[in-house]
Amino acid sequence: MPTEVDYDIALVGAGPAGTAAALALRGSGLRVLLLDKAAFPRDKICGDAVPGHALKALRQLDPAYVDALWELEPRDEVRRSRIVAPSGASFYMHWNLRTFNSPRLDFDAALLGLVRRFTDTEIRENASLKTLEITPDYAHLHLADGTAITARLVIGCDGANSVVGRRLLPEPRLARAHHSAGVRAYFENVAGTESGTTEFFFSQNYLAGYCWLFPVGAGRYNVGLGMLSELVAQHKVDLKQLLLDTVATHPELAGRFREARQLGPVLGFGLPMG
């Protein structure tokens, strides 16, 4: 006979995927555990642009979630994108769905706040999943601090380097051709920016990739560069240096960044896209 199980569902990772799953399970009557190796607020390397469809999906769960997120600060409401070609020519795309950019440090903490406020989910921070064992009865989660947890179902929401994915998904887990690398840094005092506008710069120098400039509220900008990982490896591209070179030498950006101040280091992370 199986022993008593600790939880019906264990959600590993409390980023957007894990918190959305916890919100979706509200009222299910199931015992849900949401665990994360970090303590929130925690940073996540990202462009900080919240897709309108993400807010739409949250609204379908409960409009109160989205109403609460619109109270979040800092935040910059986004209405359009400006796309800049290598030639310097540009055009605007206007968005149908209302949305905003906000630093993931704040946005993810706000999502976890919704889980705390609206659900009975048990939340454990500083709880890093080390190994996962599946037996006919349960999933057995072993945490780095030695804690053992059992659950009827485990949902891997632990991001691009998922421990759950490594244990459960068959090889190959990632389509290498669709894997990108991205870097970003925060800046302030960038000239020529327009609130409500995200900007994308394409250049012959970036191979298959682009540079972005996203307002995130409070006069700050998330500035980043993403490129297919295979090209980064093949051409030995130093993405962090390329980002700094780009804002210093790009025909349009160089002037706009002349008086800009960089806030913190350039940081990078993998970006699997399929």
For binding to ligand FAD (CB under 6 A), which residues are involved? 12-18, 35-38, 44-49, 51, 128-129, 157-159, 163, 182, 184, 224, 226, 269, 271
Q: Given the complex with ligand FAD, which of 51 and 88 has the nearer CB atom?
A: 51
Identify the H or E element spanning 115: helix 104-118
Smallest separation (angstroms) from ligand FAD to the CB of 54: 7
DSSP state of 136: S
Q: Given the complex with ligand FAD, which of 35 and 84 has the nearer CB atom?
A: 35
Q: 8, 152 in Cβ contact below 8 A?
A: yes
Q: Given the complex with ligand FAD, which of 5 and 17 has the nearer CB atom?
A: 17
C-beta pairs of 87-91 under 8 Å, 24+ apart in sequence: 88/251, 88/252
Q: 72, 58 in Cβ contact below 8 A?
A: no
Smallest separation (angstroms) from ligand FAD to the CB of 107: 10
Q: Given the complex with ligand FAD, which of 74 and 226 has the nearer CB atom?
A: 226
- In the chain, the amino acid numbered 80 is R
Among 197, 227, 196, which residue's Cα sits nearest to residue 211?
227
Smallest separation (angstroms) from ligand FAD to the CB of 84: 17
Q: Given the complex with ligand FAD, which of 14 and 149 has the nearer CB atom?
A: 14
Distance CA 189, CA 22 (A): 38
Smallest separation (angstroms) from ligand FAD to the CB of 101: 7
Smallest separation (angstroms) from ligand FAD to the CB of 163: 4
